[in-house]
Structure 1
Amino acid sequence: MVRWMPLSLVAGVALMGLAHGSASASPFKCMTSSGVTYSQVPCPGGGGRDMSPAARRVTDKSVPPPQDRATLARRAPLSADEKRECQALDKTMRDQRAQLKARGDAVTIEDEMPLVRNQKRYREVGC
């Protein structure tokens, strides 16, 4: 009898682990007409969010956030024509910078003037 006790103890712990594993389904957060409910099964209609640890978003805090939101916020009060002009200036200045970089040390002041004029217009418009 004493000899079987360690074996039965190991078997009992293993069964409890299996029972716990099957009972711990991932929770789902569902929005209903009466408010928020939590369930072990997916929400009806496919809505809701999986709340399991595996489904959580992971944010890399060492990566800087995208600056698109800042640009959009800065350009929000501009008219549609000014926004189009800003987009065109973005592309033009990007191309001009690439051309200047490709020339290297052979760049003259006359080569830089179109970029300088576009940068001035960029600031005037408020891009």
Structure 2
Amino acid sequence: MAASAHRGIGRALLVLAALGASQAGAQMQVYRCGARTYSQAPCPGGRLVGVTPHRVTDRSKPPPQDRAIAAKRAVLAPEQRQECRALDVRLREEQRSLRARGDAVTIEDEMPLVRAQKRFRELRC
């Protein structure tokens, strides 16, 4: 019985494909309405066949903090945790400014980044 159901679905899809091809290039949307039911019109709980929803990420939001970092910082004093968060921002800014300067970076330009990295390690952020 399962094989006949699969053949029926295959035939239905072929018919739908043929109908779509005969519409002179017009795209036809096919909705899956149930386990074995398809329709040209939207149906309750149905979804478009062949269309996967795109993952939308908001790049303006900071990424979620890694659990390992959160666990490591949980043992720190509140002042040290606050300093670690400030160092996170400072390290990114320093790296960004060095990248913006390109090949014209000198050792004096790199020293603020080195100091921030040293403090980051000392705090065990």
**How does the TM-score come out when normalised to structure 2?**
0.48
Structure with bigger gyration radius: 1
**How does the TM-score come out when normalised to structure 1?**
0.47
More strand by share: 1
